[in-house]
Amino acid sequence: MANDPRATEHCRDLIPRIASALNDHLSACLADAPPTEVVARGEELTELVLQYEEALTRATGWSLPVRHLPPALATRGR
């Protein structure tokens, strides 16, 4: 198991930023914002989640479970 205290702290710092990015993306979708804005909010969210996963892996050796979903589950409901 990895143990990088700085990575652990970075994970903790990213959690509220990810929550905020999720809210921003939802707000853009609900407001019927231009596609460029919805995509931009989605890209910001994606970048933060990837940063979180990288820090999580450095801190614990684990990755996000979403990465390991089979395609049928990852696209369920579409």
Residue 24 C-beta-side C-alpha neighbours within 13 Å: 17
- Token pair for 49: 């989640």
Contacts (Cβ under 8 Å, ≥6 apart) of 41: 21, 24, 25, 27, 28, 33
Instruction: Give 12-66 pLDDT, tens digit per residue.
Output: 999 999 999 999 999 999 999 999 999 999 999 999 999 999 999 999 999 998 8
pLDDT score at 52: 97
Range of the domain at 43: 5-74
More confident residue, 1 or 34: 34
**Residue 1 pLDDT more than 70?**
no
pLDDT score at 69: 78
**Residue 78 pLDDT more than 60?**
no
Helix boundaries (H) for 31-68: 35-60
Cβ 40 vs Cβ 24: under 8 Å: no
Total of domains in the chain: 1
pTM: 0.84
